[in-house]
Copies of this chain bind each other. A is one copy, B any other.
Amino acid sequence: MNPQLLLSRIRVVLCRPSHPGNIGAAARAMKTMGLSSLYLVEPKQFPDPEADVRATGAVDVLQASKITSSLKEALAGTIFAVALSARQRDLGPEIGAPRETVARLLREAEQGEVALVFGNETMGLSNEEILHCQAAVTIPTNPDFSSLNLGSAVQVLCYESRMAAFAGQPPIRVLGVTPFASPPATLDEVEGLYGHLEKVMTDTGFYNPEQPGRLMPKLRRLFGRVRLEKDEINILRGVLASTQVKTGYGRKD
């Protein structure tokens, strides 16, 4: 299925959010990752200018958001819901890792609407709310400071959703091609550089061909790792030649 369509089937549900700024941040996080369906269950303060400010260019997501009075209502029409939860709850669904759980979310999204459910900033989700969900997920955190911001938690799970939706497709359009890359140097051009280097180093006394040691092998190892391009050979040989021309201790060869 088309990745964009899959992402459009994921609802983000925020239960009883306290801070309008977090609602705005969640909207922005969603839109950057290609999600757009936001549900707010009993938001303490919404709409609010602070939400608009934090949403920046994602105010459209806020404007299209739906406000409900219960999680049950926000989940109407969905076929699968994942609760974000920091700990295993009595009778609650087993807690999984983000990558695996999101992979399942997207498999389910092939069949219909699904949801990512987030609790209140301080209290998280109630046990009753968790029981409305079929799976639970924890974002691994530092055990000494697990206080992930609500907007950040939305960002991480939306990011994982996008990564999963586009898995197998090149997500980045410009991979590989540096605009200024020149064609790769041929091995004989690289040999020409080594010969030039050796000549200059011999002339300056830095290298003694009678006692070669490991100097040339080390330089070969260095430039062998870099996959030199034609332009780069020209630059390096230009530098070498300039030290020769300037001083006359050797000739450009």
Contact = CB atoms under 8 A, between A and B. Distances in A.
21 contacts: A25-B152, A28-B147, A58-B145, A94-B176, A95-B172, A95-B174, A95-B175, A96-B172, A97-B172, A138-B172, A140-B171, A151-B152, A152-B155, A159-B159, A203-B246, A204-B245, A204-B246, A222-B228, A225-B226, A243-B243, A243-B247
- Interface bracket on A: 35 or more
A142 B31 contact: yes
Contact of A180 (B32, B163, B214, B246): B214
Nearest to A238: B206
Contact of A218 (B147, B152, B155, B232): B232
A239 B174 contact: no
A227 interface: yes
A141 B172 contact: no
Given A152-B155, A225-B227, 15 more contacts: A28-B152, A31-B142, A31-B145, A32-B142, A32-B147, A32-B148, A56-B147, A88-B174, A88-B177, A88-B178, A91-B178, A94-B176, A140-B172, A142-B162, A218-B231
Contacts of A226: 222-223, 225-226
Interface in A144-196: 145-149, 151-152, 155-156, 159, 162-163, 166, 171-172, 174-180
Contact of A139 (B96, B159, B179): B159
What are the 5 A-B residue pairs with the smallest beta carbon separation, nearest first? A206-B242, A247-B247, A140-B171, A204-B242, A226-B226
B171 A97 contact: yes
A44 interface: no
Contacts of A58: 145
Interface of A: 25, 28-29, 31-34, 56-58, 87-88, 90-92, 94-99, 138-142, 145-149, 151-152, 155-156, 159, 162-163, 166, 171-172, 174-180, 197, 200-201, 203-206, 214-215, 217-219, 221-223, 225-228, 231-232, 235, 238-239, 242-243, 245-247, 249
